Amino acid sequence: MTTSDTLSSEQVISLAKQHLTQNYTRYPVALVRGSNSWVWDAEGNRYLDFFPGWGCGILGHCPPRVVQAVQEQVATLIHVPNTWYTEPQALLGQALGERTDFGGVSFFCNSGTEANEAAIKLARLNGKPKNKYKIVTLTGSFHGRTMGALTATAQPKYHAGVEPMLPGFNYAPWGDLDAVAKAIDGETCAVMFEPIQGEGGVNVPPAGFLEGVRALCDHHGLLLILDEVQTGMGRTGKWFGYQNWDVKPDIITLAKALAGGVAMGALVARPEVAEKLKPGTHAATFGGNPLAARAALATIETIEQEGLLERGVQLGARFLHRFTELKEKCPLVTDVRVKGTMIGVELNVEGAPVVQACLEKGLLINCTHQTVLRLLPALTLSDEQLEDGCDIIADVLLALRP
């Protein structure tokens, strides 16, 4: 396909404004193709993508092994319901279980919010015999936009207009172990949070926090649910974010990078916890379909065969060096938080103009919590691309400094 075969950006945007719901803030660019960390718009302009697919593109755009796997599978078997077994789904369950180091078994769905809905239900099913149903979550969290996951998301701005929220959630301040302890009562069945908050501002927990929550859960007989939708699949330099600490959860949830850009979510739970999911308790029509499962297997294979967990650590170190250096030169930068390729650069000004200026210079990044530049680059990013992108961010911020 060439750019002459496509609609112009203006035509695409006009059609979208007429015929799509307007619930997204979109930039006036229509993207038509991608390769690794590059994407092109309808006019053939090229952009370096430091936020591929909102973190779904852990291997960049159109990774070859994933493309090949999908092409083969789409010509073989696209979808069958979960009333039948398929080889890709079974192999993917095995692959995830072997990498969770708690022998996890998997339920597959299509997104992060679905995975978290499944986790909420599973926690309540486990708490049912003792009439426990409440879940403690943390301020600044983001767990999704379906009603259960949205209620778990302890940010009032996302609840506005759709109240009342579901009963059974207690909120505690992020990183405050004493507050988590106080939020637990006799009806609590689980504590649920992200090992590193993404949308909340790329917040890394204080030392001892994860281990402390694990101890609280053990003491009160609660499940520890870790939302790994953004931190999972190598994003932090480990297969899963929790593996950066000395803890083992009871349930993790996955999505985003799981299938290299193909829609897929998963709940992975300890077998004795997962056994409460009996026929009829939960399901997902498209969950774990052969197409998505093959894509996920190809993603895992690529990460392992190309040594990308180690590459993520190297990239993180280079990003930390570049932005720490920038912080010393630019008073607009107040903090830099990096774990693998999960990167937050906190500013003392609004980040939206910075994102716009980077876009105009050919770099795609994100801003969250108004003031935190969030980068989730592909593990396949080259050193040259890293330096070029950091140069653009530095140029933009240094031009804005007072």
Which residue is associated with the tokens 């609840």?
159
Residue 395 annotated in active site: no
3-state secondary structure 146-162: CHHHHHHCECHHHHCCC
CA nearest to 333, candidates 357, 319, 349: 349
145 is in an annotated binding site: yes
Point out the catalytic residue in the list 50, 51, 108, 142: 142
Residue 265, beta-bridge partner list: 109
> Length of the chain, please?
402
d(CA 134, CA 222): 10
Among the listed residues 88, 38, 52, 36, the one whose alpha carbon sits nearest the alpha carbon of residue 300: 88
Whether residue 178 is annotated as binding a ligand: the answer is: no
Residue 401 labeled ligand binder = no
Contact 336, 344 (CB under 8 A): yes
- Active-site option among 41, 49, 227, 250: 227
Catalytic residue among 256, 276, 323, 339: 256
**SS3 state of residue 102:** coil
| Rounded alpha-carbon distances, angstroms, from residue 265 to 28, 70, 92, 233 | 29, 17, 12, 12
> 3-class SS at 207?
coil
Q: Is 229 annotated as a binding residue?
A: yes
256 given a catalytic annotation: yes
User: Where is the binding site for pyridoxal 5'-phosphate, in residues?
Assistant: 112-113, 142, 227-230, 285
User: Where is the binding site, in residues?
Assistant: 112-113, 142, 145, 227-230, 285
Residues annotated as catalytic are 142, 227, 256
User: Where is the binding site for N(2)-acetyl-L-ornithine, in residues?
Assistant: 145
